[in-house]
Structure 1
Amino acid sequence: MTGLLDHTMIRVTDLEESVDWYETHLDYEEKDRHEAEDFTIVYMGPEDMGDSEAMLELTSNEGQDELEIGDAWGHIAVRVRDLEDAYEKLMEGGVDDYRDPESCGGRYAFVKDPDGHEIELVLREEGSLWSLDHTMIRVENADEAIGYWVRKFEYADTRRWEADTFANFFVEPEDAPDEAMSLELTYNYDGRSYTHGDGWGHLCVRVDDLDEDFDELTLREVPVDRDPEACDDRYAFVEDFEGHEIELLERDPNAESLFSF
């Protein structure tokens, strides 16, 4: 499997408000949309994003007016070229002040979207402007979480940052392009547990052959949520050992629609 992270899915209550927010403030564009009977999915990302860059999937469920943003879900991080300038432009554009660069030691900053999903701003030269740099989730067992991604998906533990009370571990496929999104695993040393809520959806990993790669993952004892057959052989879902959902998707870059699996 390629193993690249294809997208991160989050749920929103007002789809058009969220689409407008990401278009207005992050210069995202709507890449594709799928309307089902009781939900709508919109893929979004920068206009000039490359094939190896990850998209943001916004999912709106019919009749869902409230979301619980559980603390097992952390944030997405987007790339900027000038941290102070990017944050100031967001403030001038009407985004609420949350955690400015100064409060974060001048190394990053945070804002929130209309549903309260946290978005980190990180200074990066690689990847397109505002593209997804990483997605952060919190884990209760760091050794198990790292081992899961290394053994099941053949990811590499590429970098880490350890403080007195917590540690961040970044994992991504071996030889991943610089512009590809990575996964940040955050582990707090105080032994806390987390709630998932329903605001956080899933990560999606690209595979080369859905059936073959799914069989390989089951051989590696990955917890299965929905197999390809249950998903009309279009995709599948597995889980890590803490319940984070991971979609497996065989992406055709030449398809007319992003939903042509």
Structure 2
Amino acid sequence: MKFKFDHNNINVLNLEKSIEFYEKALGFKEIDRKYADDNSFILVYMGDGQSNYSVELTWLKDRKEPYNLGDNEIHMAVRTDDYDAAHKLHKDMGCICYENEKMGLYFIADPDGYWTEILPRK
């Protein structure tokens, strides 16, 4: 038996704002969208255009209050081929929430507070 990564899910309050963030901050593009039969939710899958892995943004129609992310120790990580340009973009966007210069990495936070670790190419 084998398993293969497919996607991660995060719930978002403002779907369009989240889509815009992931497009601008990481270059992800919408690759699929699904609507509930009763319009109670929308799923939007964002991909990097290089792998089959995606991030599923889930918008729930009746959700009004921010999600409780706890201690926010769960995150996804991406590698970039131009770490310095990525860092400048994210600094200009004001979304860097934690930096560890000694380890050569930093984190950005999306509009709902989910973190993404930014790593240089190996």
Q: TM-score, normalized by length of structure 2?
A: 0.86
Distance apart, 1:34 and its partner CA = 0.5
Larger radius of gyration: 1
When residues 89 and 72 of structure 1 are mapped into structure 2, their CA distance, relative to the original with a 3 A threshold, is closer
* 1:68 counterpart SS class: coil
State the partner residue of 1:3: 3
State the partner residue of 1:141: none
C-alpha distance in 2 between matches for 1:24 and 1:111: 12
Query: CA contact under 8 A between 1:40 and 1:59: conserved in structure 2?
Result: yes
State the partner residue of 1:122: 119
Deviations 1:217-239, CA, capped at 9 Å, x for gaps? xxxxxxxxxxxxxxxxxxxxxxx
Deviations 1:136-175, CA, capped at 9 Å, x for gaps? xxxxxxxxxxxxxxxxxxxxxxxxxxxxxxxxxxxxxxxx
* 1:99 counterpart SS class: strand
The aligned runs of 1:210-249 (5 Å cut-off) are none
State the partner residue of 2:42: 40
C-alpha distance in 1 between matches for 2:62 and 2:72: 24
State the partner residue of 1:29: 29
Aligned partner letter, 2:83:
L
Aligned partner letter, 1:29:
K
The aligned runs of 1:89-128 (5 Å cut-off) are 89-92=89-92, 94-100=93-99, 103-125=100-122
Aligned partner letter, 2:46:
M
C-alpha distance in 1 between matches for 2:22 and 2:80: 15
Gaps of 5+ in 1: 126-261
Q: Equivalent pairs: percent with the same residue?
A: 32
Gaps of 5+ in 2: none
The aligned runs of 1:71-220 (5 Å cut-off) are 71=71, 74-92=74-92, 94-100=93-99, 103-125=100-122
State the partner residue of 2:55: 56
C-alpha distance in 1 between matches for 2:71 and 2:98: 18
Deviations 1:49-80, CA, capped at 9 Å, x for gaps? 234xx110110111212211123751111111
Q: TM-score, normalized by length of structure 1?
A: 0.42
When residues 6 and 124 of structure 1 are mapped into structure 2, their CA distance, relative to the original with a 3 A threshold, is same
C-alpha RMSD of matched pairs (Å): 1.8
Query: CA contact under 8 A between 1:83 and 1:109: conserved in structure 2?
Result: no
State the partner residue of 1:13: 13
C-alpha distance in 2 between matches for 1:39 and 1:104: 40
When residues 109 and 89 of structure 1 are mapped into structure 2, their CA distance, relative to the original with a 3 A threshold, is same
* 1:85 counterpart SS class: helix
* Greater relative CO (CA pairs within 8 A, separation 6+): 2
